[in-house]
Amino acid sequence: MSAIAGSTREIGKEKNIVSPFIIISLCALTLSIFSLLILIIYLNYQNNRIIDVRDISKQYHETIQSIIKEMNLESDFRGYKELTEKKYLLVNGEYDIYIPSVEIYDKTLKILKKKVYESGIGIDTNGKTTQTLLLQINGINIAKININIKNEQKNNEKTVEKGDREIYSLVKNLLLTHYVSGTEFVESLPEPISDGSNMWFHKKYSLFLSMDIDDNTLLSDMKRLLSEKFPSSDIKTNIDKEKNVLEHSIYIDDRNILTISIQKFSENFSNETTSTIKTSLSTNYPVKKIIEEYFEPVILFRENQDIQEEQNLNEEEKNNIDNKETQKPKVAIILDDGGFRNPEEDPALELLNKINISILPDTRYTKELAKKAQEKGFEIMLHMPMQTKQGVKKGSFPCELLINMTEKEIEEKTKNALEQIPDAKGVNNHTGGVFTLKEVPLKSFMKVLKEKNMFFVDSVVVGGSKAYQVAKDEGLSAIQRDIFIDHEYTTSKIKESLEILKKIAKKRGKAIGIGHFRDLTIKVLKEELPKFEEQGFELVHVSEMFE
Protein backbone atom coordinates (compact mmCIF):
# COMPACT_ATOMS: atom_id res chain seq x y z
CA MET A 1 0.00 0.00 0.00
CA SER A 2 2.83 2.36 0.84
CA ALA A 3 4.48 1.39 -2.46
CA ILE A 4 1.34 2.38 -4.37
CA ALA A 5 1.14 5.67 -2.50
CA GLY A 6 4.79 6.38 -3.23
CA SER A 7 4.24 5.65 -6.91
CA THR A 8 1.29 8.03 -6.98
CA ARG A 9 3.38 10.79 -5.42
CA GLU A 10 6.11 10.26 -8.07
CA ILE A 11 3.57 10.48 -10.89
CA GLY A 12 2.21 13.71 -9.37
CA LYS A 13 5.68 15.19 -9.30
CA GLU A 14 6.20 14.28 -12.95
CA LYS A 15 2.90 15.94 -13.86
CA ASN A 16 3.98 19.10 -12.05
CA ILE A 17 7.22 19.13 -14.09
CA VAL A 18 5.70 18.33 -17.50
CA SER A 19 2.69 20.66 -17.43
CA PRO A 20 4.60 24.00 -17.50
CA PHE A 21 6.83 22.67 -20.28
CA ILE A 22 3.83 21.80 -22.40
CA ILE A 23 2.28 25.22 -21.78
CA ILE A 24 5.49 27.03 -22.77
CA SER A 25 5.82 24.90 -25.92
CA LEU A 26 2.24 25.61 -26.95
CA CYS A 27 2.76 29.35 -26.42
CA ALA A 28 5.94 29.33 -28.50
CA LEU A 29 4.18 27.39 -31.27
CA THR A 30 1.24 29.83 -31.23
CA LEU A 31 3.60 32.79 -31.38
CA SER A 32 5.49 31.25 -34.31
CA ILE A 33 2.28 30.64 -36.24
CA PHE A 34 1.10 34.18 -35.51
CA SER A 35 4.46 35.62 -36.66
CA LEU A 36 4.32 33.54 -39.83
CA LEU A 37 0.84 34.87 -40.60
CA ILE A 38 2.01 38.46 -40.12
CA LEU A 39 4.97 37.78 -42.42
CA ILE A 40 2.70 36.32 -45.10
CA ILE A 41 0.34 39.30 -44.86
CA TYR A 42 3.26 41.73 -45.08
CA LEU A 43 4.83 39.96 -48.08
CA ASN A 44 1.47 39.89 -49.80
CA TYR A 45 1.06 43.63 -49.18
CA GLN A 46 4.54 44.36 -50.53
CA ASN A 47 3.81 42.25 -53.58
CA ASN A 48 0.55 44.04 -54.35
CA ARG A 49 1.17 47.61 -53.23
CA ILE A 50 1.26 50.40 -55.76
CA ILE A 51 4.37 52.56 -55.57
CA ASP A 52 3.64 56.26 -55.93
CA VAL A 53 6.21 57.82 -58.28
CA ARG A 54 4.06 60.63 -59.66
CA ASP A 55 6.46 63.35 -58.52
CA ILE A 56 9.42 61.56 -60.06
CA SER A 57 7.72 60.89 -63.40
CA LYS A 58 6.54 64.53 -63.47
CA GLN A 59 10.14 65.66 -63.26
CA TYR A 60 11.06 63.48 -66.22
CA HIS A 61 8.40 65.44 -68.12
CA GLU A 62 10.28 68.60 -67.21
CA THR A 63 13.30 67.02 -68.90
CA ILE A 64 11.28 66.28 -72.05
CA GLN A 65 9.82 69.79 -72.15
CA SER A 66 13.29 71.29 -71.73
CA ILE A 67 14.64 69.26 -74.66
CA ILE A 68 11.77 70.41 -76.88
CA LYS A 69 12.35 74.01 -75.79
CA GLU A 70 16.09 73.81 -76.39
CA MET A 71 15.53 72.53 -79.94
CA ASN A 72 13.08 75.40 -80.61
CA LEU A 73 10.43 72.98 -81.82
CA GLU A 74 6.83 74.09 -81.93
CA SER A 75 4.77 71.70 -79.85
CA ASP A 76 1.40 71.08 -78.24
CA PHE A 77 1.21 69.42 -74.85
CA ARG A 78 -2.00 67.44 -74.44
CA GLY A 79 -1.71 67.31 -70.67
CA TYR A 80 -0.99 64.88 -67.88
CA LYS A 81 -2.87 61.75 -66.95
CA GLU A 82 -2.43 59.73 -63.78
CA LEU A 83 -2.37 55.99 -64.31
CA THR A 84 -1.11 52.77 -62.78
CA GLU A 85 1.37 50.72 -64.79
CA LYS A 86 3.40 47.76 -63.57
CA LYS A 87 2.49 48.57 -59.95
CA TYR A 88 3.64 52.17 -60.30
CA LEU A 89 1.30 55.11 -59.82
CA LEU A 90 2.74 57.67 -62.22
CA VAL A 91 2.04 60.64 -64.47
CA ASN A 92 1.90 60.07 -68.23
CA GLY A 93 1.66 62.77 -70.89
CA GLU A 94 1.37 63.24 -74.64
CA TYR A 95 3.10 65.75 -76.91
CA ASP A 96 2.62 66.81 -80.53
CA ILE A 97 5.89 67.98 -82.11
CA TYR A 98 5.94 70.04 -85.31
CA ILE A 99 9.14 69.77 -87.36
CA PRO A 100 9.55 72.82 -89.69
CA SER A 101 9.83 70.99 -93.03
CA VAL A 102 10.19 67.62 -94.73
CA GLU A 103 13.76 68.47 -95.75
CA ILE A 104 15.05 68.50 -92.16
CA TYR A 105 12.65 65.87 -90.80
CA ASP A 106 15.15 63.01 -90.52
CA LYS A 107 17.94 65.16 -89.10
CA THR A 108 15.67 66.82 -86.51
CA LEU A 109 14.23 63.48 -85.43
CA LYS A 110 17.72 62.02 -85.05
CA ILE A 111 18.82 64.93 -82.82
CA LEU A 112 15.63 64.68 -80.75
CA LYS A 113 16.18 60.96 -80.13
CA LYS A 114 19.83 61.55 -79.23
CA LYS A 115 18.99 64.20 -76.65
CA VAL A 116 16.26 62.03 -75.12
CA TYR A 117 18.66 59.08 -74.84
CA GLU A 118 21.36 61.28 -73.31
CA SER A 119 18.93 62.45 -70.64
CA GLY A 120 18.50 58.86 -69.45
CA ILE A 121 15.09 58.23 -71.04
CA GLY A 122 14.49 55.21 -73.27
CA ILE A 123 12.58 55.29 -76.59
CA ASP A 124 10.26 52.71 -78.13
CA THR A 125 8.83 53.41 -81.60
CA ASN A 126 6.06 50.91 -80.82
CA GLY A 127 6.92 48.92 -83.95
CA LYS A 128 5.23 51.46 -86.23
CA THR A 129 6.54 53.19 -89.34
CA THR A 130 4.76 56.41 -88.36
CA GLN A 131 6.77 58.57 -86.02
CA THR A 132 5.25 58.01 -82.63
CA LEU A 133 7.81 57.76 -79.85
CA LEU A 134 7.01 56.10 -76.54
CA LEU A 135 9.35 57.36 -73.84
CA GLN A 136 10.16 54.96 -71.04
CA ILE A 137 12.05 54.69 -67.76
CA ASN A 138 13.01 51.14 -66.81
CA GLY A 139 10.37 49.82 -69.21
CA ILE A 140 7.64 52.06 -67.77
CA ASN A 141 5.89 54.34 -70.28
CA ILE A 142 5.95 57.95 -69.09
CA ALA A 143 5.26 59.93 -72.28
CA LYS A 144 4.21 59.76 -75.92
CA ILE A 145 5.53 62.08 -78.66
CA ASN A 146 3.73 62.42 -82.00
CA ILE A 147 5.85 63.86 -84.84
CA ASN A 148 4.22 66.17 -87.43
CA ILE A 149 5.33 68.45 -90.26
CA LYS A 150 4.89 72.07 -89.24
CA ASN A 151 4.63 73.87 -92.60
CA GLU A 152 1.56 71.89 -93.65
CA GLN A 153 -0.18 72.84 -90.41
CA LYS A 154 0.84 76.47 -90.73
CA ASN A 155 -0.76 76.69 -94.18
CA ASN A 156 -3.97 75.51 -92.56
CA GLU A 157 -3.89 78.43 -90.12
CA LYS A 158 -4.11 80.90 -93.00
CA THR A 159 -7.06 79.13 -94.61
CA VAL A 160 -9.37 79.18 -91.59
CA GLU A 161 -12.46 81.28 -92.25
CA LYS A 162 -12.78 84.62 -90.47
CA GLY A 163 -16.01 83.61 -88.70
CA ASP A 164 -14.42 80.43 -87.40
CA ARG A 165 -11.47 82.41 -86.05
CA GLU A 166 -13.88 84.62 -84.13
CA ILE A 167 -15.54 81.58 -82.55
CA TYR A 168 -12.18 80.16 -81.58
CA SER A 169 -11.26 83.47 -79.95
CA LEU A 170 -14.60 83.90 -78.12
CA VAL A 171 -14.62 80.40 -76.66
CA LYS A 172 -10.95 80.49 -75.74
CA ASN A 173 -11.39 83.81 -73.94
CA LEU A 174 -14.39 82.43 -72.02
CA LEU A 175 -12.51 79.33 -70.92
CA LEU A 176 -9.34 81.14 -69.87
CA THR A 177 -11.25 83.90 -68.09
CA HIS A 178 -13.68 81.81 -66.07
CA TYR A 179 -12.67 78.16 -66.03
CA VAL A 180 -9.01 77.34 -66.59
CA SER A 181 -5.52 78.78 -66.46
CA GLY A 182 -3.06 78.59 -69.32
CA THR A 183 -1.41 75.52 -67.82
CA GLU A 184 -4.69 73.58 -67.94
CA PHE A 185 -5.48 74.55 -71.55
CA VAL A 186 -4.05 72.92 -74.70
CA GLU A 187 -4.90 74.24 -78.16
CA SER A 188 -4.34 72.20 -81.33
CA LEU A 189 -3.48 73.60 -84.74
CA PRO A 190 -6.37 73.60 -87.26
CA GLU A 191 -6.77 70.39 -89.26
CA PRO A 192 -8.72 69.96 -92.51
CA ILE A 193 -11.81 67.69 -92.41
CA SER A 194 -14.46 66.90 -95.03
CA ASP A 195 -18.00 65.54 -95.24
CA GLY A 196 -17.46 64.28 -98.81
CA SER A 197 -18.58 67.41 -100.63
CA ASN A 198 -17.22 70.29 -98.50
CA MET A 199 -13.93 70.85 -96.72
CA TRP A 200 -13.32 73.06 -93.68
CA PHE A 201 -10.97 73.28 -90.71
CA HIS A 202 -11.35 71.97 -87.19
CA LYS A 203 -9.65 72.90 -83.93
CA LYS A 204 -9.52 71.13 -80.61
CA TYR A 205 -9.22 72.59 -77.11
CA SER A 206 -8.20 70.17 -74.37
CA LEU A 207 -9.04 71.17 -70.81
CA PHE A 208 -7.83 69.56 -67.60
CA LEU A 209 -10.17 70.58 -64.80
CA SER A 210 -10.73 69.80 -61.15
CA MET A 211 -13.80 67.77 -60.21
CA ASP A 212 -15.59 70.69 -58.57
CA ILE A 213 -16.20 72.62 -61.82
CA ASP A 214 -19.84 72.30 -62.96
CA ASP A 215 -20.09 70.93 -66.54
CA ASN A 216 -23.64 72.22 -66.99
CA THR A 217 -22.65 75.78 -66.10
CA LEU A 218 -19.77 75.70 -68.58
CA LEU A 219 -22.05 74.36 -71.33
CA SER A 220 -24.72 76.99 -70.62
CA ASP A 221 -22.16 79.79 -70.76
CA MET A 222 -20.87 78.59 -74.14
CA LYS A 223 -24.36 78.26 -75.59
CA ARG A 224 -25.32 81.75 -74.45
CA LEU A 225 -22.10 83.24 -75.79
CA LEU A 226 -22.41 81.63 -79.23
CA SER A 227 -26.16 82.10 -79.72
CA GLU A 228 -25.80 85.88 -79.42
CA LYS A 229 -23.43 86.18 -82.38
CA PHE A 230 -23.94 82.92 -84.26
CA PRO A 231 -27.64 81.93 -84.33
CA SER A 232 -26.90 78.88 -86.48
CA SER A 233 -24.49 77.45 -83.91
CA ASP A 234 -25.14 74.18 -82.12
CA ILE A 235 -23.30 72.25 -79.44
CA LYS A 236 -23.37 68.46 -79.24
CA THR A 237 -22.09 66.61 -76.20
CA ASN A 238 -20.53 63.18 -76.00
CA ILE A 239 -19.20 61.26 -72.98
CA ASP A 240 -16.47 58.66 -73.31
CA LYS A 241 -16.78 56.79 -70.02
CA GLU A 242 -13.86 54.49 -70.79
CA LYS A 243 -11.44 57.41 -71.14
CA ASN A 244 -13.29 59.58 -68.61
CA VAL A 245 -13.56 62.37 -71.20
CA LEU A 246 -16.43 64.78 -71.86
CA GLU A 247 -16.51 66.39 -75.32
CA HIS A 248 -18.51 69.41 -76.53
CA SER A 249 -18.51 69.73 -80.34
CA ILE A 250 -19.42 73.15 -81.74
CA TYR A 251 -21.17 73.18 -85.12
CA ILE A 252 -21.81 76.08 -87.49
CA ASP A 253 -24.09 75.22 -90.40
CA ASP A 254 -23.47 71.53 -89.75
CA ARG A 255 -19.70 72.02 -89.80
CA ASN A 256 -17.89 70.75 -86.71
CA ILE A 257 -15.32 73.53 -86.35
CA LEU A 258 -14.33 73.16 -82.69
CA THR A 259 -14.21 70.31 -80.17
CA ILE A 260 -13.67 70.96 -76.49
CA SER A 261 -12.32 67.88 -74.74
CA ILE A 262 -12.61 67.95 -70.94
CA GLN A 263 -10.84 65.56 -68.64
CA LYS A 264 -11.27 65.90 -64.90
CA PHE A 265 -8.91 64.91 -62.14
CA SER A 266 -9.47 64.60 -58.44
CA GLU A 267 -6.59 65.87 -56.35
CA ASN A 268 -7.59 63.26 -53.76
CA PHE A 269 -6.48 60.43 -56.01
CA SER A 270 -5.99 57.48 -53.67
CA ASN A 271 -5.65 53.75 -53.52
CA GLU A 272 -5.70 51.58 -50.43
CA THR A 273 -2.44 49.96 -51.47
CA THR A 274 -0.76 53.19 -52.58
CA SER A 275 2.54 54.00 -50.95
CA THR A 276 2.47 56.88 -48.50
CA ILE A 277 5.21 58.73 -50.39
CA LYS A 278 3.86 62.24 -50.87
CA THR A 279 6.98 64.43 -50.79
CA SER A 280 8.61 65.74 -53.95
CA LEU A 281 11.92 64.58 -55.34
CA SER A 282 13.53 67.59 -53.65
CA THR A 283 12.97 66.01 -50.24
CA ASN A 284 15.43 63.28 -49.46
CA TYR A 285 13.35 61.24 -47.05
CA PRO A 286 11.73 58.84 -47.80
CA VAL A 287 11.83 59.39 -51.58
CA LYS A 288 15.56 58.63 -51.74
CA LYS A 289 14.93 54.90 -51.32
CA ILE A 290 12.44 54.83 -54.19
CA ILE A 291 14.87 56.75 -56.41
CA GLU A 292 17.73 54.39 -55.67
CA GLU A 293 15.67 51.26 -56.24
CA TYR A 294 13.73 52.22 -59.33
CA PHE A 295 14.94 55.43 -60.94
CA GLU A 296 18.58 56.01 -60.06
CA PRO A 297 20.22 58.02 -61.43
CA VAL A 298 17.64 60.78 -61.81
CA ILE A 299 18.72 63.01 -64.69
CA LEU A 300 17.10 66.37 -65.30
CA PHE A 301 17.93 68.70 -68.14
CA ARG A 302 19.19 72.07 -67.01
CA GLU A 303 16.89 74.80 -68.32
CA ASN A 304 19.20 77.73 -67.67
CA GLN A 305 20.58 78.81 -71.03
CA ASP A 306 23.62 80.39 -69.44
CA ILE A 307 24.60 77.01 -68.03
CA GLN A 308 24.45 75.52 -71.49
CA GLU A 309 26.58 78.35 -72.82
CA GLU A 310 29.15 77.70 -70.11
CA GLN A 311 29.24 74.01 -70.95
CA ASN A 312 29.89 74.84 -74.60
CA LEU A 313 32.76 77.26 -73.99
CA ASN A 314 35.78 76.39 -76.09
CA GLU A 315 39.26 76.37 -74.63
CA GLU A 316 40.09 79.85 -75.91
CA GLU A 317 37.02 81.37 -74.23
CA LYS A 318 37.84 79.54 -71.01
CA ASN A 319 41.34 80.99 -71.00
CA ASN A 320 40.03 84.50 -71.64
CA ILE A 321 37.72 84.21 -68.65
CA ASP A 322 40.43 82.76 -66.44
CA ASN A 323 42.82 85.59 -67.31
CA LYS A 324 40.44 88.40 -66.38
CA GLU A 325 41.89 90.49 -63.59
CA THR A 326 38.84 91.23 -61.50
CA GLN A 327 37.84 90.99 -57.88
CA LYS A 328 37.04 87.59 -56.51
CA PRO A 329 33.79 86.22 -57.95
CA LYS A 330 31.14 85.63 -55.28
CA VAL A 331 29.48 82.24 -54.90
CA ALA A 332 26.49 81.58 -52.63
CA ILE A 333 25.12 78.11 -51.93
CA ILE A 334 21.73 77.39 -50.41
CA LEU A 335 20.79 74.06 -48.84
CA ASP A 336 17.03 73.55 -49.29
CA ASP A 337 14.48 71.38 -47.48
CA GLY A 338 15.90 71.68 -43.97
CA GLY A 339 13.77 70.52 -41.07
CA PHE A 340 13.31 66.78 -41.58
CA ARG A 341 16.43 65.64 -39.72
CA ASN A 342 17.54 66.07 -36.14
CA PRO A 343 20.06 68.96 -36.15
CA GLU A 344 22.01 67.32 -33.34
CA GLU A 345 22.93 64.52 -35.74
CA ASP A 346 22.87 66.34 -39.09
CA PRO A 347 26.25 66.44 -40.92
CA ALA A 348 25.04 69.50 -42.90
CA LEU A 349 25.79 71.66 -39.87
CA GLU A 350 29.43 70.57 -39.97
CA LEU A 351 29.90 72.29 -43.35
CA LEU A 352 31.54 75.71 -43.69
CA ASN A 353 29.08 78.19 -42.27
CA LYS A 354 29.41 80.58 -45.23
CA ILE A 355 26.42 78.91 -46.86
CA ASN A 356 22.69 79.44 -46.38
CA ILE A 357 20.36 77.00 -44.67
CA SER A 358 16.79 77.20 -46.04
CA ILE A 359 14.26 75.62 -43.68
CA LEU A 360 10.75 74.41 -44.39
CA PRO A 361 8.03 75.47 -41.95
CA ASP A 362 5.76 72.93 -40.26
CA THR A 363 8.36 70.15 -40.06
CA ARG A 364 9.40 68.25 -36.94
CA TYR A 365 12.73 70.06 -36.53
CA THR A 366 11.98 73.48 -38.05
CA LYS A 367 12.62 75.51 -34.90
CA GLU A 368 15.45 73.33 -33.58
CA LEU A 369 17.35 73.50 -36.89
CA ALA A 370 16.88 77.27 -37.16
CA LYS A 371 18.28 77.79 -33.66
CA LYS A 372 21.21 75.39 -34.09
CA ALA A 373 22.19 76.72 -37.54
CA GLN A 374 22.03 80.30 -36.28
CA GLU A 375 24.32 79.44 -33.37
CA LYS A 376 26.86 77.94 -35.79
CA GLY A 377 26.94 81.07 -37.95
CA PHE A 378 24.94 79.96 -40.97
CA GLU A 379 22.62 82.47 -42.64
CA ILE A 380 19.03 81.28 -42.23
CA MET A 381 16.26 81.41 -44.81
CA LEU A 382 12.61 80.38 -44.92
CA HIS A 383 11.93 77.78 -47.62
CA MET A 384 8.32 78.79 -48.34
CA PRO A 385 6.06 76.06 -49.76
CA MET A 386 4.01 77.20 -52.76
CA GLN A 387 1.36 75.48 -54.88
CA THR A 388 2.93 73.28 -57.53
CA LYS A 389 -0.05 71.85 -59.44
CA GLN A 390 -3.53 72.90 -60.47
CA GLY A 391 -6.70 72.15 -58.54
CA VAL A 392 -5.10 71.76 -55.12
CA LYS A 393 -7.49 72.66 -52.30
CA LYS A 394 -5.19 71.87 -49.41
CA GLY A 395 -1.42 72.12 -49.42
CA SER A 396 1.09 69.51 -48.32
CA PHE A 397 2.21 71.93 -45.58
CA PRO A 398 -0.15 73.94 -43.32
CA CYS A 399 1.63 77.12 -44.45
CA GLU A 400 1.64 76.31 -48.17
CA LEU A 401 0.47 79.21 -50.35
CA LEU A 402 -2.27 78.48 -52.90
CA ILE A 403 -3.42 80.66 -55.78
CA ASN A 404 -7.06 80.62 -54.65
CA MET A 405 -6.24 82.17 -51.27
CA THR A 406 -7.23 85.72 -50.43
CA GLU A 407 -4.61 88.39 -49.80
CA LYS A 408 -5.29 88.12 -46.07
CA GLU A 409 -4.85 84.33 -46.07
CA ILE A 410 -1.55 84.60 -47.93
CA GLU A 411 -0.28 87.24 -45.51
CA GLU A 412 -1.33 85.21 -42.45
CA LYS A 413 0.30 81.99 -43.68
CA THR A 414 3.49 83.80 -44.64
CA LYS A 415 3.71 85.49 -41.26
CA ASN A 416 2.99 82.18 -39.51
CA ALA A 417 5.84 80.51 -41.41
CA LEU A 418 8.23 83.36 -40.61
CA GLU A 419 7.36 83.21 -36.91
CA GLN A 420 8.66 79.63 -36.88
CA ILE A 421 12.05 80.86 -38.15
CA PRO A 422 12.50 84.27 -36.46
CA ASP A 423 16.15 84.68 -37.49
CA ALA A 424 15.49 84.23 -41.21
CA LYS A 425 17.13 86.94 -43.35
CA GLY A 426 15.45 85.93 -46.59
CA VAL A 427 13.12 83.53 -48.36
CA ASN A 428 13.17 81.23 -51.36
CA ASN A 429 10.29 79.18 -52.72
CA HIS A 430 9.78 75.45 -52.24
CA THR A 431 8.09 74.07 -55.39
CA GLY A 432 5.58 76.66 -56.74
CA GLY A 433 5.15 75.46 -60.32
CA VAL A 434 1.70 77.12 -60.33
CA PHE A 435 1.99 79.83 -57.66
CA THR A 436 5.11 81.47 -59.13
CA LEU A 437 3.26 82.01 -62.41
CA LYS A 438 0.55 84.16 -60.79
CA GLU A 439 1.30 87.85 -60.23
CA VAL A 440 -1.62 88.71 -57.91
CA PRO A 441 -0.93 86.14 -55.15
CA LEU A 442 2.82 86.74 -55.53
CA LYS A 443 2.30 90.43 -54.76
CA SER A 444 0.44 89.57 -51.55
CA PHE A 445 3.34 87.33 -50.52
CA MET A 446 6.06 89.85 -51.41
CA LYS A 447 4.23 92.55 -49.46
CA VAL A 448 4.97 90.69 -46.20
CA LEU A 449 8.65 90.24 -47.08
CA LYS A 450 8.92 93.94 -47.92
CA GLU A 451 7.48 94.89 -44.53
CA LYS A 452 10.08 92.73 -42.80
CA ASN A 453 12.94 93.97 -45.02
CA MET A 454 13.82 90.49 -46.27
CA PHE A 455 15.47 89.41 -49.51
CA PHE A 456 13.97 86.88 -51.94
CA VAL A 457 15.58 84.18 -54.07
CA ASP A 458 13.52 82.77 -56.94
CA SER A 459 14.30 79.04 -57.01
CA VAL A 460 13.05 78.99 -60.64
CA VAL A 461 11.23 75.68 -60.42
CA VAL A 462 9.26 76.33 -63.62
CA GLY A 463 9.92 78.12 -66.89
CA GLY A 464 8.21 81.52 -66.97
CA SER A 465 8.35 82.06 -63.22
CA LYS A 466 7.29 85.62 -62.36
CA ALA A 467 8.46 85.52 -58.75
CA TYR A 468 11.76 87.36 -59.32
CA GLN A 469 10.20 90.17 -61.34
CA VAL A 470 7.31 90.65 -58.91
CA ALA A 471 9.80 90.82 -56.02
CA LYS A 472 11.80 93.50 -57.86
CA ASP A 473 8.64 95.43 -58.72
CA GLU A 474 7.66 95.40 -55.05
CA GLY A 475 11.02 96.85 -54.06
CA LEU A 476 12.69 93.75 -52.59
CA SER A 477 16.32 92.76 -52.91
CA ALA A 478 15.88 89.75 -55.20
CA ILE A 479 17.92 87.33 -57.25
CA GLN A 480 17.40 84.11 -59.22
CA ARG A 481 19.26 80.87 -58.65
CA ASP A 482 21.65 79.88 -61.41
CA ILE A 483 21.79 76.12 -61.00
CA PHE A 484 20.57 73.19 -58.92
CA ILE A 485 23.76 71.42 -57.93
CA ASP A 486 22.32 67.98 -57.11
CA HIS A 487 19.52 67.30 -59.57
CA GLU A 488 21.80 64.65 -61.02
CA TYR A 489 22.44 62.71 -57.86
CA THR A 490 25.90 61.22 -58.32
CA THR A 491 29.24 62.38 -56.94
CA SER A 492 30.65 63.22 -60.38
CA LYS A 493 27.56 65.19 -61.45
CA ILE A 494 27.43 67.23 -58.24
CA LYS A 495 31.11 68.11 -58.66
CA GLU A 496 30.49 68.96 -62.30
CA SER A 497 27.63 71.27 -61.27
CA LEU A 498 29.89 73.06 -58.80
CA GLU A 499 32.40 73.66 -61.60
CA ILE A 500 29.66 75.11 -63.79
CA LEU A 501 28.63 77.34 -60.89
CA LYS A 502 32.19 78.66 -60.67
CA LYS A 503 32.26 79.41 -64.40
CA ILE A 504 29.04 81.37 -64.14
CA ALA A 505 30.50 83.32 -61.21
CA LYS A 506 33.62 84.12 -63.24
CA LYS A 507 31.51 85.39 -66.12
CA ARG A 508 29.02 87.45 -64.09
CA GLY A 509 30.94 88.17 -60.92
CA LYS A 510 28.49 86.17 -58.79
CA ALA A 511 26.39 83.00 -58.90
CA ILE A 512 23.92 81.12 -56.71
CA GLY A 513 23.57 77.35 -56.52
CA ILE A 514 20.89 75.40 -54.68
CA GLY A 515 21.44 71.96 -53.18
CA HIS A 516 19.45 69.88 -50.72
CA PHE A 517 19.80 68.13 -47.38
CA ARG A 518 21.01 64.91 -49.00
CA ASP A 519 23.85 62.77 -47.71
CA LEU A 520 25.79 62.66 -50.97
CA THR A 521 25.38 66.40 -51.53
CA ILE A 522 26.69 67.13 -48.04
CA LYS A 523 29.60 64.75 -48.51
CA VAL A 524 30.68 66.44 -51.75
CA LEU A 525 30.26 69.94 -50.31
CA LYS A 526 32.35 69.03 -47.27
CA GLU A 527 35.15 68.07 -49.65
CA GLU A 528 34.79 70.89 -52.18
CA LEU A 529 33.80 74.02 -50.25
CA PRO A 530 37.22 74.52 -48.59
CA LYS A 531 38.77 74.68 -52.09
CA PHE A 532 36.74 77.71 -53.22
CA GLU A 533 38.95 80.31 -51.50
CA GLU A 534 42.23 78.91 -52.83
CA GLN A 535 40.70 78.74 -56.32
CA GLY A 536 40.00 82.46 -56.26
CA PHE A 537 36.33 82.52 -55.25
CA GLU A 538 34.65 84.21 -52.31
CA LEU A 539 32.07 82.00 -50.63
CA VAL A 540 29.40 84.33 -49.26
CA HIS A 541 25.94 84.38 -47.69
CA VAL A 542 23.12 85.32 -50.04
CA SER A 543 22.59 88.67 -48.27
CA GLU A 544 26.13 89.65 -49.30
CA MET A 545 25.14 89.32 -52.97
CA PHE A 546 23.18 92.56 -52.68
CA GLU A 547 26.02 94.65 -51.23
Distance CA 199, CA 178 (A): 33
Distance CA 438, CA 441 (A): 6
Strand partners, 191: 202
Distance CA 261, CA 205 (A): 6
Average pLDDT over residues 156-175: 76
pLDDT: is 299 or 373 the higher one? Answer: 373
C-alpha neighbours within 13 Å on the C-beta side of residue 518: 25
pLDDT more than 90, % of the chain: 32
What are the angstrom distances between the C-alpha of 432 and each of 271, 390, 429, 474? 26, 11, 7, 19
HEC readout, 236-249: EEEEECCCCEEEEE
Distance CA 189, CA 203 (A): 6
Average pLDDT over residues 510-537: 93
Does the pTM surpass 0.75? The reply is no
Distance CA 422, CA 359 (A): 11
List, for residues 436-483, the tens digit of each pLDDT value.
989 999 999 999 999 999 999 999 887 778 999 999 999 999 999 999
Span between the terminal Cα atoms of the chain, in Å: 111
Backbone angles phi, psi at 76, to 5 degrees: -120, 130
Helix 105-118 and helix 54-70, axial crossing angle in degrees, nearest 10: 140
Does residue 271 register a pLDDT over 60?
no
What are the angstrom distances between the C-alpha of 59 and each of 65, 317, 430, 488? 10, 33, 15, 12
Distance CA 427, CA 433 (A): 16
Distance CA 171, CA 222 (A): 7
List, for residues 275-308, the tens digit of each pLDDT value.
222 223 333 333 333 333 333 333 333 333 444 4
Task: State the average pLDDT for the chain.
Answer: 78
Return the number of other C-beta atoms located less than 10 Å from residue 43's C-beta.
10
pLDDT: is 442 or 124 the higher one? Answer: 442
Distance CA 385, CA 430 (A): 5
Average pLDDT over residues 228-237: 87
pLDDT more than 70, % of the chain: 75
Distance CA 200, CA 168 (A): 14
Does residue 151 register a pLDDT over 70?
no
The pLDDT confidence band at residue 396, using thresholds 50, 70 and 90, is: confident
Angular region, 528: left φ>0, alpha ψ -120 to 50, beta rest: alpha
Nearest Cα neighbor of 150 from 205, 204, 109 is 109
332 residue type, one letter: A
Does residue 424 register a pLDDT over 90?
yes
- What pLDDT does residue 196 have? 55
The pLDDT confidence band at residue 189, using thresholds 50, 70 and 90, is: low
Most confident of 104-113, 273-282, 393-402: 393-402
Return the number of other C-beta atoms located less than 10 Å from residue 197's C-beta.
5
What is the DSSP-derived secondary structure letter of residue 274? B
Question: Is 124:142 a contact under the CB 8 Å cutoff?
Answer: no
List, for residues 336-360, the tens digit of each pLDDT value.
999 988 899 889 999 999 999 999 9
